[in-house]
Amino acid sequence: MRVTWDGEEIEAREGQTVAAVLTARGVRSWRTTRVAGRPRGLFCGIGVCFDCLVKVNGVPDVRACQRVVADGDDIRPQAGAELPS
Amino acid sequence: MNRVVVIGAGPAGLAAARAAAALGVEVVLVDAGPKLGGQYFRQDALASEDRFSFPGGVEHVPDAAVWAVEPIHGGHRVHLRIGAADDPSRTGRVLETRALVLATGAFDRVLPFPGWDLPGVFTAGGAQAMAKGQGVAAGDRVLVAGTGPFLLPVASSLAAAGARVVEVAEANAAVTGWLSRPRGVFAGWPKLPELARHVSALARHRVPYRSRTAVVRAHGSEWVESVTVARLDREWTPVPGSERRVEVDAVAVGFGFTPQLELAVAARCRIEGGFVAVDAAQGTSAPGVFAAGEVTGIGGADLAASEGAVAGAAAAKRLGAVVDPPLGAMARVRSGRRFAAALEAAYPVRGGWTDWLRDDTIVCRCEEVDLRRLMSAVDERDLGGVRSLKLASGAGLGLCQGRVCGRNVAELAGLDGTAFARRRIASPLRLGELAEAEPEAEAVEVPDRALGQDFG
Amino acid sequence: MSPIESADVVVVGAGIIGAACAEALSRAGRRVLVVDRGAPAGATTASGEGNVLLSDKAPGPELALALAARRRWPALLESLRGELGDLADVEWEAKGGLVVATSPDSVGSLRIISDAQREAGVEVHSLGPEGARKLEPHLTGTVTAAAHYPEDAQLHPVLAATALLAAVRARGGAVVGGVEADGLVVRGGRVAGVRIGGAAVPCGAVVNACGPWAGHFSVAAGAPIEVMPRRGMILVTAPLPPLVRRKVYAADYVAAVSSGDVDLQVSTVVESTAAGTVLIGSSRQRVGFDDSLEVEVLRRLARNAIRLFPVLEGVPVMRAYGGFRPYTPDHLPVIGEDPRMRGLWHASGHEGAGIGLAPATGRLLADLMDGRRPEVDPVPFRVDRPALMAEVRT
């Protein structure tokens, strides 16, 4: 299947999480923190820490480690706190 | 309705569901993951088959976030959102039950150190989940650090996924010490052969395995580029002059585990010493609520499965099934707890970790609260409780609701951290999901007489 | 147990009201001991949004107290800053309040109440739908009218209470948590001390500032008053970009606040915090001290909030917390000395307005204790009013 990362089309496999797709592609951080603008990516990997937030199909605050990709997903980095678009 | 609801499909939940189903009781097994097995039996998410199968009578509900457990007359109401994680399109489902088994497991505890919020620093379990479940290594050069035998399978999984494990840093004594001559408390522990295999695999790959050693700092700007590793004294204070820099592009850190307590707290189970208190039948202090696995104490998969078998039988009995006490499983629980206690004694977290911190070290990752801000709230405002400490410092108020920082913050503040586990909303949901009318609860019939909680 | 073996006044309860009373008394030169069976600022105070409101009060004694408190807060914080420095930073923000009508029916009643408030000295600006949406661009399009209250303010209740307590300590007083006051020592018909965990602490006066537990303590003190818990729940969203600027609430809120119904009342209150979260309230229920979760209450809060701010539909709710407000049958605080027991003072019953009313409450109590002429008429808050001491009349 194909998804897009920040507008660019990339390959993904059935069952992969967003975090795995991004990590396999060498993307290591995909959001910045609200206060200091620090980079964050995967941390706990099991849905507990909410550090790996990402925007999927316009919806922010999605845990990349928990979200399994679907064909055509539009995945984008999240800058601090965002509203759904 | 007469059915057991089991939350969590790891070793404990699987065993509970099997045990209850084997006694002829209907079971609904709810889990956040897409496949059975939980963190321990982490299945390859890319493979099409499922390693686990069930006898009839078990309904597996995957991809289900339990966001609330609500006490109701005669039982509990379990509120689910089912579907793609964190997506507003998830659907609601409500289960009512008179016999609830909580097998919610645990997650890695990570102690903070300067730079631990850099991308590339992972929890040990997170690195393992990515390696085992997704076939992706956390980095090319990975250092594994923390304490306890769990570091070994993590290192193995990383190596199997293609990473070069540059070092395993154990803050306590190395497992190799007692593993070669397992006497006393560890004699007869069923885990020994597996650990021995991991140790020899490390040796084969020439991975240094060092005791009394910890990562005390991570360096980098956008990503971890190197770490400072130091020797520790008995209390975990770094030995001056022992620091050395190691180039890595990832670190996997785990200092034991923190139980996932919020559902138990919501169900009004008594918490003792940081875990759900249970009796010999895995019954909690809340009638009709049973707990099994790491929520009752960190003891590994075998103990969790034994506890699950007992809890499943006890839950079935609560619904009226005729049950002989599962004596074999109960005996395995007792011996498993002895090993668990021995492990806990051998791999504690020592107080010297607080010496790793600097004033500007982040302690709460969500709210970006550093040590200075936390300690000024503690020292100047004379806060005697977790609730006011959270509000005054900001620590624990973010999306993870103190799961990552709670124990560390409580330790730094000298408070009992159990109150961090009070999370009425156990998993975030969109306001629109909350506003949506839930489907009518699949209801319980309340029996005329109170049913037993144990096998007596 | 206590660093103080005797005190001029022992304040029982280290919430915002106890803290404000202790601050005012210590300012007047008294040696004050504050005790709490739990952690300071850890119960009702920790459950509040930090409201300092005029908008939700109809003209009458509570509004008079609120006006005095609204004047007092900035001055008090300024003076605490001189004493304590940054500790007095309590996130005070005069953000303003916006009361919103969303049906043609409520336009008239909103006007009537805001006119009366204006008469009583409150700054109110009546707005049409466009004016309201200019202030709060994310407001629903169904707004029919609004009233803007620029004086409404917010502060951080735990920071405020702990700053007040720090001032008490700085002036030689003491604050001790984790100890329970379980009765009075009475000599010659008046208070001579308070029993704390079996030990007697001599003092000249005791202040019952136990919030929703004030009824309990009043029984233990032998002078019962009618203060009951009224439960409330609040939803907290994930941190969001700036979205709601003021405290925004539906016009039916005032009716819910003043209702005496035992049953669940849910009205809509939406506001943001300094941390970026949006707080969604509010519910009122009289269910004793039962604090178990009721999903239906959360659901109704969520629905109402989306109705007022449709953009909230897609944002995550990460927390819900509950607390107990101290409720009196006539919705007025009780502030004053108990006529049945000289030396026993009560300061409770502020329901959801305790944070806002705290400094005027403390000052009123201190003025009465010292025999000064109070700024606010104390009569409506007196302890022996009929609603509060039903059993005394019989």
Top-confidence residue, A9 or C268? A9
- C-alpha neighbours within 13 Å on the C-beta side of residue C220: 19
C319/B429 Cβ within 8 A: no
Task: Decide if pLDDT at C394 tops 80.
Answer: no
Top-confidence residue, B384 or C116? C116
DSSP code of residue B81: E
pLDDT for B447 = 54
Q: What chain C residue is nearest to A81 in terms of C-alpha separation?
A: C240
- Give the C-alpha separation, B310 to B455, whole Å: 10
Give contacts of A61 with chain C, Cβ < 8 Å.
238, 315-316
C315/B430 Cβ within 8 A: yes
Q: Tell me the three state secondary structure of residue B203.
A: helix
Summarize pLDDT for C135-194 with one digit per residue, the tens: 999 999 999 999 999 999 999 999 999 999 999 999 999 999 999 999 999 999 999 999
pLDDT for B422 = 93
Task: Decide if pLDDT at B449 tops 70.
Answer: no
* CATH (one of 3.40.980.10, 3.10.20.440, 3.40.630.10, 3.40.30.10) for A2-79: 3.10.20.440
- Take residue C21 and report the two structure tokens written for it: 């009373």
Q: Tell me the three state secondary structure of residue B67.
A: strand
* Cα dihedral C99→C100→C104→C108 (10° resolution): 10
Task: Decide if pLDDT at C391 tops 60.
Answer: no
Summarize pLDDT for B169-195 with one digit per residue, the tens: 999 998 877 777 766 677 777 888 888
* Cα dihedral C132→C137→C141→C142 (10° resolution): -40
Summarize pLDDT for A12-47 with one digit per residue, the tens: 999 999 999 999 999 999 999 999 999 999 999 999
pLDDT for B241 = 97
Q: What domains lie within chain B, and their CATH numbers?
A: 3-106+258-343 (3.50.50.60), 110-255 (3.50.50.60), 351-421 (1.10.10)
- Give the C-alpha separation, B151 to B257, whole Å: 12
pLDDT for A52 = 98
Does C316 contact chain A (CB < 8 Å)? yes
Summarize pLDDT for C249-277 with one digit per residue, the tens: 998 766 666 666 767 888 889 999 988 99
pLDDT for C1 = 46
B397/C39 Cβ within 8 A: no
A83/C315 Cβ within 8 A: yes
CATH topology of domain C7-71+157-227+331-393: FAD/NAD(P)-binding domain (3.50.50)
Q: Return the H-helix or E-strand segment holding B231.
A: strand B226-231
Summarize pLDDT for B397-411 with one digit per residue, the tens: 999 999 999 999 999
Give contacts of C314 with chain B, Cβ < 8 Å.
88, 430-432
As a whole number, the mean pLDDT across chain C is: 93
- Take residue B99 and report the two structure tokens written for it: 């016999």
pLDDT for C393 = 41
Q: Which band of pLDDT confidence, cut at 50, 70 and 90, is reported for residue B1?
A: low
Task: Decide if pLDDT at C3 tops 60.
Answer: no
Task: Decide if pLDDT at C57 tops 50.
Answer: yes
Summarize pLDDT for A61-85 with one digit per residue, the tens: 999 999 999 999 999 999 999 999 8
Residue ranges per domain, chain A?
A: 2-79
**Nearest one of B452, B367, B375 to B409, comparing CA atoms:** B375
CATH architecture of C97-150+229-327: 2-Layer Sandwich (3.30)
Asked if B142 and B158 count as a contact pair (C-beta separation under 8 A), the reply is yes
Tell me if domain C7-71+157-227+331-393 and domain C97-150+229-327 are identical in fold: no
A82/C315 Cβ within 8 A: no
Does B222 contact chain A (CB < 8 Å)? yes
As a whole number, the mean pLDDT across chain B is: 93
C201 forms beta bridges with C194
pLDDT for B434 = 97
Q: Assess: ipTM above 0.95.
A: yes
Q: Which band of pLDDT confidence, cut at 50, 70 and 90, is reported for residue B56?
A: confident
pLDDT for A85 = 87
Considering only the beta carbons, identify the residue of A59, A81, A84 that sits closest to C239. Answer: A81
As a whole number, mean pLDDT of residues B64-93 equals 96
**Nearest one of B97, B36, B93, B38 to B65, comparing CA atoms:** B93
As a whole number, mean pLDDT of residues C337-360 equals 97
CB neighbours (10 Å) of residue B24?
11
